[in-house]
Amino acid sequence: MSVVRIVLLVIFGSLSVLNLVAVGLKLRKVQYVSTPMRVPFLAAFYILGSTGPSWLVIAALVFAFIGDIIWLWQKKETFMMLMSGAYLLCLVFYTVALLQPISQLSGVPAWHDAVALVYAAYFMLVYSLLKSNMGEMKAPMSVFFAVVMIMGFAALTRLWRYQGLAFWLPFVGSLSYIAAETVLGFHLFKHRGESKYGDFFGDLFYVSAQLLLVLAFTPA
């Protein structure tokens, strides 16, 4: 790994830690700087480490960046919709990237599709616990969380095509993303943004997911 990429990764890590501290201590002015600055450094780390960067991963990071900016104003319903849309597109691009190359999906055994029932059951559980609190956001957030589950299942299909870190990095990354959206869902809707550690752990899982997914697509 080049010195430049190490520096970029250190800056990303430092900003992530700073943001977690700012979230934990409710330092909003610090978050205005640390929250949107993380993904650009992660994107630079990815682009410089790939001989042929995937436009799917780059697009996912662009929409993650947009979502991070809008997140700072997510308490307003209009911004909540825009933020959800940006993160939704981020997830769609990650999902398609995880399924590449499409031709290799033919090697996935048919019974593997049954595992999707586990993701569907988890979706239904979370939805049943939050639906009474989501109001007008019920439909868009249901679609959003469904796509999170689809992305998680897409990561699991790599089990039949990749070994070692090529499987585990995106799979654990997808689980981190699911954890992030679960925690933030309860934080924002069940507890109306007032849970003590919801935003902290939500951000921790989210930034971990972004890092693991990017590392999965970065050559060793």
Q: pLDDT, tens digit, for every residue of 162-173?
A: 889 989 999 999
Residues contacting residue 175 through CB under 8 Å, at least 6 positions apart: 152
Please determine, for residue 195, whether its predicted confidence score (pLDDT) is greater than 90: no
Q: How confident is the model at residue 6 (pLDDT cuts 50, 70, 90)?
A: very high
Question: What's residue 22's pLDDT?
Answer: 93
- With a pLDDT cut of 90, the percent of the chain lying above it is 55
Residues contacting residue 120 through CB under 8 Å, at least 6 positions apart: 149
Q: How many Cα atoms occupy the beta-carbon half-sphere of 85 within 13 Å?
A: 7
pLDDT tens per residue, range 65-121: 999 998 887 666 677 788 889 999 999 999 999 988 766 666 677 777 788 899 999
Per-residue CA distances from 117 to 75, 147, 150, 152 (Å): 33, 14, 11, 12
Please determine, for residue 24, whether its predicted confidence score (pLDDT) is greater than 80: yes
**220: burial class by Cβ within 10 Å (0-12, 13-18, 19+)?**
exposed
